[in-house]
Amino acid sequence: MATAGKAVVRPGGKRGVLVGGKAAVFDSEGQCPTCCTCEPFVLGSYTTHRTYSPCWDLTPYQGPGKAPPGSFWRLIEMGSCYPSSYPWYGAGCVNAEGRLVNLPNQFCSNYYYNGYLQLQIGCLSPDGTQILWPGTCRTPTSRYSC
């Protein structure tokens, strides 16, 4: 019986430790669920301003091996925790090669203030219904399809 502070391994399953040091429970086939192989992280960040630094070159983040296959990406403006959400400027999925599908070559701002942008990689929640994102204001979002 499970109690607070205890891990229970179901029959046929086994415990293991992921590369990042987190504990994981594998199924009877020895497979780790998708949610335990992905850790949300910030792939890149840039401060835009219409006059001083209007465009962020996103080509270094294109190509294979940039993020875990099956994860998600979003281009988002950060700041103090917005009341409901942050402004998004693009989002998509990561394919089997680890490539951010449909990531544009650049993002250009028309705003006259410093916009702190992040290219974030998100992961599915354990139940597969939400995407978990990195950061201090980690508001999960509904899972979207690509």
Q: Where are the domains of the chain?
A: 38-142
- Mean residue pLDDT of the chain comes to 79
Out of 20-24, 107-111, 127-131, least confident range: 20-24
Q: How far apart are CA 19 and CA 86, in angstroms?
A: 31
Q: Which residues contact 109 (CB under 8 A, 6 or more apart)?
A: 48, 49, 50, 54, 55, 115
The pLDDT of residue 110 is 85
- Torsion sign over Cα 121, 126, 131, 133: negative
pLDDT at 1: 47
Q: pLDDT band at 36, cuts 50/70/90?
A: low
Q: What is the mean pLDDT of residues 40-64?
A: 94
Alpha carbon distance 53, 115 (integer Å): 10
User: Cα 41–144–114 angle (5° rounding)?
Assistant: 50
Tokens of 46: 């840039």
Please give the pLDDT value at position 115. Answer: 84
Q: How far is CA 41 from the centre of its chain?
A: 6
Q: What is the pLDDT of residues 78-112, one digit of tens each?
A: 875 654 566 788 999 999 999 999 999 999 988 88
Give how far the C-alpha of residue 92 lies from the chain's centroid of Cα atoms, to the nearest Å.
10
Is residue 8 scored above 80 in pLDDT?
no
Q: Could you tell me which residue, 47 or 113, shows the higher pLDDT? A: 47
Residue 138 above 90 pLDDT?
no
Confirm if 42 and 134 have CB atoms less than 8 A apart.
Answer: yes
- Per the listing, tokens 């942008």 go with 117
